[in-house]
Amino acid sequence: MNTRLKAHAVKGWLWQGGVALAVAALFYWLSHNLSTNLAARGMEIDFGFLAQRAGFDIPFRLVAWDGSYPYGWALYVSGVNTLFASALIIVLASLLGLALALMRLSGNPLAAGTSRTIVEVVRNTPQLTQIVFFYIAVLQVLPPMRQSITWFGSMFLNVRGLYVPAPSGTAYDAILAATCAVVVLAAVFWRRLGWHEVPRLVVLPPVLVLGAIIAGVTANWDYPSLKGFNFTGGTRVPPELLALVLGIGVYTSVFIAEIIRAAIQGIHRGQGEAARSLGLSSSQAMFLVILPQALRILIPPLTSQYLNIIKSTTLGAAIAYPEVLQIFARTVLNQSGRAVEVMTLVLGVFLAVNLLASAAMNVWNRRLALQGR
C-alpha cells in the first residue's frame, strides 16, 4: 500500500513538473518572439520614458499633479483615481445589493416584484450602455449652476457635477492622524477594554468609523458657495465619476443581490425561528443571526464581483473619466509611442491590485470559516 502511494505521489509530481516546464517554455517562446520582432523594427523595451515630462493635464485627481510631472507620476495619479472609483462602487453595489435581496425575500408582493423587475432589467442590459445612459440621459440634463439641486445648504448638484464640503488646508492629515490614533489606542487597550472576546473583524469597522467621525468633527471644513458663474470652496465630484459609479454600481448590485438572496436561503429556517422564539424581531433576526452566518457563504462569490468591479473601471474611458486606461493606455501611449511598456504596466497595475484585493478577501474568508476539530 505504501509503495502504491509513493508511486502515485511521484507520478503526480512528474505531471506537475512537466506542466510547469511547458508553461515556462511557452513564456520563453513568447518573450523571445517579442524581442526578435522588436529588434527587427529597431525597437527595444525601455521603461526610461517614465521619467519624461508629461505635459498634459488630468482634470480630476486626488493627489498633486500638473504638466511638469513625469509619466510615472501620471500612472500613480490615474491609479489612485481607479482605486477611488472602485471603492465607491463596491460600497454602493454592496448596499444596493443587500437592499434588493431583502426586498426580494420580504413578504410584501410590491417590494418583491419591484426587486425582481430591477434585477431582470439591469442584468440583461449591457454594462457600458448603462454607464453612458447615466452620463447622458441623467447627469447631462441636470440644471445649470444657478439652479443647482441643494441638500442641507452645503451640497450642490448640477450639470457640472456634485459639490460637497471638504476639509481645508492640512485637515486631511489631521483626519488621517486622528483615525490612526483611535485604531492604535483600541489595539493597545484591546484586553483592558474587554474586546478580546469579540472578533476583531466585528470591532475594527466601528472603530474606524468612530475615528473618522471624531477627526471630521474636529477638522476645519471648507464649504462650497456660488460666486459669479462658478462654485468656490469645497470639492467637486465630476459627472464622469458619478456616471461610472452609478453605472457599474447599479449593474453589479443586481448580481450581488442574487448572491445574498441565495446565501440567506442557504441558512436553515430553524435559525430564524429560534431567533424569533427568543423575542427578536424579524429585522433583528436577519441582521444578528442570519446574515452573520450567510457571510460564510457570501465571501467567495463576492470576491469575484469585487474583482470584476475593479477591472470594469476601465469602462470609464468611454466617458473620459481619468482612470488608468484613459490616462496611461491612451494619452501616455499616444505621446510616448511605447505600446509594449505601457500595456505591460497597465496589466501589471490591475494584476497587483486584484491580487491584493483577492488576498484580503481570502483572509476575511478564513477568519469567518468554521474551525474544524
pLDDT band at 185 (very low <50, low <70, confident <90, very high): low
**pLDDT at residue 11 above 50?**
yes
- CA–CA separation, 5 vs 58, rounded Å? 62
pLDDT band at 241 (very low <50, low <70, confident <90, very high): very high
pLDDT of residue 271: 82
pLDDT of residue 373: 44
Report the candidate in 275, 297, 283, 302 with the shortest Cα–Cα distance to residue 106: 283
pLDDT band at 198 (very low <50, low <70, confident <90, very high): very low
**Choice among 245-249, 303-307, 358-362 with the minimum mean pLDDT:** 358-362
pLDDT of residue 155: 86
More confident residue, 16 or 373: 16
**Residues above pLDDT 70, as percent of the chain:** 82
More confident residue, 248 or 49: 248
Per-residue burial over 23-57, b if 16 or more Cβ lie within 10 Å, else e, is eeeeeeeeeeeeeeeeeeeeeeeeeebbeeebebe
Q: What are phi and psi of 158, to 5 degrees?
A: -150, -170
- Per the listing, cell 492629515 goes with 173
Instruction: State the pTM of this model.
Output: 0.81
Find residue 332's DSSP bridge partners. Answer: none
pLDDT, tens digit (0-9, with 9 covering 90-100), for 125-175 = 999 999 999 999 988 888 888 888 888 888 888 888 888 887 765 555 555
More confident residue, 15 or 258: 258
pLDDT of residue 273: 79
**pLDDT at residue 178 above 70?**
no
More confident residue, 295 or 240: 240
